[in-house]
């Protein structure tokens, strides 16, 4: 079953065409990476999928249900979770309080103690978020999304600005998620992309340049040229 279908999405800001007839179909349980240079329209696409931004035209379907005009809240109730490029946390509240709010607002069926113990965060539950390291805050951002028990998870650059160790922890968390959760990830780090993705969609100037397995995308000279400004294997490191 298709978890997510994006059909002919266009988005214009004034005279600027940010997205042009973007169509993406993602199977249940799939790990799909969305890559492309800055300005390709990746985050705008996520904003439209999650309902933060309204498309100029086109349709969005979640598990076959048309959600194009639904609010972010109603899309979340259908199982859509989201992280952002920048931390979206209550920094003066504890980790526990942040998770509690996420669970309460979204009526999550999860047990909070079991959930935090599962992710190794129970012993840090009473620490204020602002006192956590940047890497830990990014982990909490991911946990807030997971606390909603999502069926589809949108991850917007989850490893941006991280050290190699922190990046490894986030990567391990994502790879450990159950295959019942469908994941779409925007990521500039190709190591992360190739470690996670079943398929990759490449956006360029608001359009889908190509969509294929990581091996095929990696071999395309046009993708290397546009996305990396280079050709050859060395560009992916």
Q: Please indicate whether residue 34 or residue 237 has the higher confidence score (pLDDT).
A: 34
pLDDT > 90 in the chain, percent: 68
- Cβ atoms of 83 and 155 within 8 Å: the answer is yes
pLDDT class of 130 with cuts at 50, 70, 90 = very high
Task: Provide the token pair at 194.
Answer: 């190739």
Quick check: 234 pLDDT over 60? no
pTM over 0.75? The answer is yes
Give me the chain's average pLDDT, please: 91
Is the pLDDT score of 230 beyond 60?
A: no
pLDDT of residue 233: 45
Res 116 pLDDT > 90: yes
- Pairing between β-strand 182-186 and β-strand 152-156 as defined by DSSP bridges: parallel
Cβ(155)–Cβ(186) below 8 Å: yes
DSSP strand E in 127-206: where? 152-156, 182-186, 199-204
Residue 63, pLDDT > 90, answer yes
Structural domains present in the chain: 2-87+152-236 (3.40.50.300)
pLDDT of residue 179: 95
On the question of pLDDT at 232 being above 70, the answer is no
């Amino acid at each position: 079953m298709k978890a997510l279908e994006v059909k002919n999405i266009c988005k214009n800001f004034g005279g600027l065409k940010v997205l042009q007839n973007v169509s993406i179909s993602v199977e249940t349980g799939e790990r799909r990476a969305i890559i492309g240079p800055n300005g390709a329209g990746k985050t705008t696409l996520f904003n439209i999928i999650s309902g933060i931004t309204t498309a100029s035209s086109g349709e969005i379907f979640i598990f076959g249900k048309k959600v194009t005009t639904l609010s972010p809240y109603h899309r979340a109730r259908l199982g859509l979770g989201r992280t952002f490029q920048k931390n979206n946390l209550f920094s003066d509240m504890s980790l526990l309080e942040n998770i509690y709010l996420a669970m309460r607002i979204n009526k999550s069926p999860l047990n909070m103690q079991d959930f935090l113990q599962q992710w190794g965060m129970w012993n840090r539950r009473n620490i204020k978020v602002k006192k956590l390291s940047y890497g830990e805050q990014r982990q909490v951002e991911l946990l807030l999304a997971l606390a909603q028990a999502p069926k589809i998870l949108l991850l917007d650059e989850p490893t941006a600005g991280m050290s190699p160790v922190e990046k490894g922890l986030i990567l391990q968390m994502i790879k450990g998620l159950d295959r019942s959760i469908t994941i779409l990830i925007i990521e500039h780090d190709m190591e992360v992309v190739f470690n996670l993705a079943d398929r990759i969609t490449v956006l360029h100037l608001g359009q889908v340049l190509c969509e294929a397995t990581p091996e095929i995308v990696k071999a395309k000279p046009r993708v290397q040229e546009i996305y990396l400004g280079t050709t050859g294997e060395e560009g992916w490191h």
